[in-house]
């Protein structure tokens, strides 16, 4: 469940202090204690039941300055964990961190999605071919596997991880009688329902001056006003565009009928001029014949 916390602690001998493990931890000599802690944020899909691990790649002194010489050099650890690849298959992710002065004893060493390790003061021993120095553990993304919280009337009402997919729990939808409507299961006790209804009238928002219903109505009204404003601007722009297009057509537009009429006039003028030239030529020929 998103936001649930967990703590898994190991001592320097690899013995489990608290939390579930998937297999026996292999831990060689070293004086630094280890704790795996965090608060699962739900941003990544962890594969249930798949072990996480922390392996010492290079031994050294936790929090030692970077560049220090052995045996007081900073150790190097490798964290591995399983996430979903979108198709329900496990995909191993690995990160390697050098525990130098940036990670002094007691500091948080981020692993993934709200999970981190805390190492105490002391040394870590590196893995060898014959002796793997590694801790295996499981990060439980749903710690309330027994549904105890739902049985007590705490949580269990909704499913989903955000506004996009929140919904009433399927188990509750199938069996509405499981909803605890009162503080007790006595007949007629509906105190929880009355408290829920009271939230409609309680001023919870805008510094306790507005109820949930008033805030919702105000938001809807504001959205409606903005939508109308946008539509009015859109209509004004459409009218302006139409006006500009008409003005453009008036200035640069061409009338087919007018142009055809002008062509006919030009044709008739050409024909008249040609006729005059033809008559003048005939007259000249007649005069030339008389003179001869």
Domain match, 118 and 206 both: no
Domain match, 164 and 283 both: no
pLDDT, residue 9, reads 46
Domain match, 121 and 165 both: no
Residue 250 pLDDT > 50: yes
**Residue 277 within a domain:** yes
**Residue 231 within a domain:** no
Domain match, 175 and 272 both: no
**Residue 163 within a domain:** yes
Taking the whole predicted model, whether its pTM rises above 0.85 is answered as no
Domain match, 116 and 29 both: yes
Domain match, 272 and 192 both: no
Residue 155 pLDDT > 60: no
Domain match, 70 and 174 both: no
pLDDT band at 95 (very low <50, low <70, confident <90, very high): very high
**Residue 240 within a domain:** no
Q: Is-contact 136 25, C-beta < 8 A?
A: yes
Q: HEC states along the chain?
A: CCCCEEEEEECCCCCEEECCCCCCCECCCCCCCEEEEEECCCCCCECCCCCEEEEEEECEECCCCCCCCCCCCCCEEEEEEEEECCCCCEEEEEEEEECCCCCCCCCEEEEECCEEEEECCCEECCCCCCCCCEEEECCCCCCCCCCHHHHCCCCCCEECCCCCCCEECHHHHHCHHHCCCCCCCCCCCCHHHHHHHHHHHCEEECCCCEEHHHHHHHHHHHHHHHHHHHHHHHHHHHHHHHHHHHHHHHHHCCCHHHHHHHHHHHHHHHHHHHHHHHHHHHHHHHHHHHHC
pLDDT band at 236 (very low <50, low <70, confident <90, very high): very high
Q: Which residues contact 3 (CB under 8 A, 6 or more apart)?
A: 39, 40, 41, 42
Task: Dump pLDDT digits (tens) for 174-204.
Answer: 777 767 677 666 677 888 778 878 887 888 8
Average pLDDT over residues 214-219: 90
What's the total number of domains in the chain? Answer: 3
Domain of residue 176 covers: 153-210
Average pLDDT over residues 79-107: 85
Domain match, 98 and 39 both: yes
**Closest Cα to residue 57, out of 21, 107, 99, 86?**
99
Domain match, 115 and 41 both: yes
pLDDT, residue 35, reads 82
pLDDT, residue 7, reads 44
**Residue 24 within a domain:** yes
pLDDT band at 264 (very low <50, low <70, confident <90, very high): very high
**Residue 227 within a domain:** no
**Residue 272 within a domain:** yes
The percentage of residues in the chain with a pLDDT greater than 90, rounded to a whole number, is: 24
Residue 67 pLDDT > 70: yes
Q: Which residues contact 284 (CB under 8 A, 6 or more apart)?
A: none
Residue 117 pLDDT > 50: yes
**Residue 252 within a domain:** no
Of 137, 161, 179, the residue at which a domain comes to its end is 137
pLDDT, residue 212, reads 85
Domain match, 133 and 176 both: no
pLDDT band at 109 (very low <50, low <70, confident <90, very high): very high
């Amino acid at each position: 469940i998103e936001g649930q916390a967990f703590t898994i602690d190991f001592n320097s001998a690899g013995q489990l202090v608290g939390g579930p493990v998937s297999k026996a931890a292999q831990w060689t000599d070293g004086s630094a204690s280890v704790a795996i802690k965090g608060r699962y944020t739900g941003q990544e899909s962890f594969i249930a039941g798949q072990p996480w691990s922390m392996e010492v790649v290079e031994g050294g002194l936790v929090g030692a300055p970077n560049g220090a010489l052995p045996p007081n050099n900073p150790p190097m650890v490798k964290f591995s964990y399983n996430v979903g690849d979108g198709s329900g298959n496990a995909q191993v992710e690995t990160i390697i961190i050098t525990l130098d002065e940036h990670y002094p004893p007691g500091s948080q060493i981020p692993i993934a999605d709200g999970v981190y390790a805390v190492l105490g003061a002391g040394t870590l021993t590196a893995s060898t071919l014959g002796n793997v120095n590694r801790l295996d553990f499981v990060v439980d993304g749903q710690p309330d596997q027994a549904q105890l919280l739902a049985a007590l009337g705490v949580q269990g009402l909704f499913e989903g991880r955000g506004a996009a997919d929140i919904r009433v729990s399927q188990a509750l939808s199938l069996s509405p009688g499981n909803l605890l409507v009162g503080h007790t299961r006595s007949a007629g006790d509906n105190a929880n329902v009355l408290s829920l209804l009271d939230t409609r009238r309680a001023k919870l928002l805008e510094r306790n001056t507005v109820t949930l219903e008033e805030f919702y109505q105000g938001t809807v009204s504001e959205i409606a006003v903005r939508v109308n404003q946008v539509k009015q601007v859109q209509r004004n722009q459409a009218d302006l565009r139409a006006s500009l297009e008409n003005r453009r057509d008036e200035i640069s537009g061409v009338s087919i009928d007018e142009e055809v009429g002008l062509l006919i006039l030009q044709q008739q003028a050409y024909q008249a001029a040609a006729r005059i030239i033809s008559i003048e030529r005939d007259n000249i020929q007649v005069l030339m014949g008389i003179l001869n």
